[in-house]
Structure 1
């Protein structure tokens, strides 16, 4: 399936309760635009800060053609663990989205406070998603008669280090 891969280096969902009905929070929302005339098969993988895959947070879904998904990470996690919404000191990490069709993906992080007077976002900033190219591996086309490198013999860099750069003569 995986023809297109998008990554973002940072996401965060956390909150701290400071008193009766007052909490500070940080959340992440991301948007996936499927601009194609066909459905998109999407897999979302979450990683913690050291880079370990969080398997209980993996999401696999289909999106309709010409559609936009608006998703909060806290909602994705709560699908697997409903108690996640009421715990404090939640999660931080990176994310990878894999799709069978090209997508447009953006995201935002926000922080603020929530209490009896309502919710207030203090800061909102964008998080980048970068497309990582996946090379098409045609393993069936590997030449069986290609050179075999013996790993016990060190490589010879003599010709490389002794060569001279030849500059063209100025006109």
Structure 2
């Protein structure tokens, strides 16, 4: 399921992809998303534009798998131990205060990320959500764009990107 709300106010980035100038910040809820999903997540993220940074937050039991994934994924710069929604919310707050990002991709299924997505949107950012098809409905609705990573996700992402590109041209 893909939700598309609003259109970016500026022009598309390199190769017609939205967004571009500052890149995409990827924040992964390692408690909700298994490191085994990285092979499905990475191609979807590459369609969003250049990734400026990536961070995973998970409690201790999930961290070793994400540490291993971090060694194979160049954009995944940090793995943090802690409560994902509160740690990533603080990280988002810092990003918003510095104005260092305009697009954030939240990778989770958790309803506790809905307020974070709304906060980003409220501050003029663009929120992409990635999660399983059964991700919390409140999270899906809070994202400007949501794509489930399932076999049809690539088609959904292509449709979403086409809609965003079309709206930025008009």
Same fold? TM cut 0.5: no
The structure with more helix, counted as a fraction of residues: 2
Q: Which has the higher strand share?
A: 1
TM-score by length of 1: 0.26
TM-score by length of structure 2 reads 0.26
